[in-house]
Amino acid sequence: MIDAHADQDWRAWFAEHGARLRLIARQWTRSEADADDVVQEAFVRFWKHQRHLPGDPNALVVTSIRRAALDLLRRTDRRSGREQAVAAEAETMTWFEPEADPCQQALIQSLALLSAEQREVVVLKVWGELTFDQIGEKLQVSPNTAASRWRYAMEALRKHITARAHD
């Protein structure tokens, strides 16, 4: 059962300290939205697990904010590194044999025109032989998002190759 008094306590505490905590979080994050996320995560962690600990609650919350911000930066940097590595690999990858027929050459050129997200799904689906569930898990998106990217990629490839055939 939720204690109505405890609900009001956290609201009052956050109303008093929230703006200051957001300014603190902003010092360790790359955007306002990230700062908001970090404050929310840190405050929930504090309120659920640390508010009854002895000591200055402000110090505990600030420590929690710093930890949440650094965790977010590490996750973002790792994801960005993975995305850049995949993009670099996709740009340098030889899709087919160098002496490919004209249809294969058209496909190679068309793949380069896809967005990085669409090209990544095509690579994982065709060459990785993964399902949309597996692709979604790998890319940290829903299976429906992976399937949508696939459909948009197939439509874009179809349009580009058809246009080349009529040139």
Give residue 49's pLDDT.
81
Cβ neighbors of 103 (< 8 A, separation 6 or more) are 161
Please give the single-letter amino acid code of residue 80: S
- Is the pLDDT reported for residue 147 higher than 90? yes
- Is the pLDDT reported for residue 66 higher than 70? yes
Instruction: State how far the Cα of 59 lies from the Cα of 65, in Å rounded to an integer.
Output: 10
Q: If pLDDT is split at 50, 70 and 90, which confidence band does 69 have?
A: very high
Number of H helices, E strands in the chain: 7, 0
Domain 4-80: which CATH number of 1.10.520, 1.10.10, 1.10.1740, 3.40.50: 1.10.1740
Q: Specify the higher pLDDT residue, 69 or 81.
A: 69
User: Hey, how many other C-beta atoms are within 10 angstroms of the C-beta on 139?
Assistant: 19
- Is the pLDDT reported for residue 95 higher than 60? no
Q: Tell me the three state secondary structure of residue 93.
A: coil
Instruction: State how far the Cα of 111 lies from the Cα of 116, in Å rounded to an integer.
Output: 10
- The structure tokens listed for 30 are 């790359």
| pLDDT tens-place string over residues 102-136 | 666 767 777 888 888 998 898 888 878 889 999 99
What residue spans define the domains of the chain?
Answer: 4-80, 93-165
Domain 93-165: which CATH number of 1.10.10.10, 2.60.40.10, 3.30.470.10, 2.40.50.140: 1.10.10.10
Instruction: State how far the Cα of 165 lies from the Cα of 167, in Å rounded to an integer.
Output: 6
Instruction: State how far the Cα of 69 lies from the Cα of 30, in Å rounded to an integer.
Output: 9
- Is the pLDDT reported for residue 3 higher than 60? no
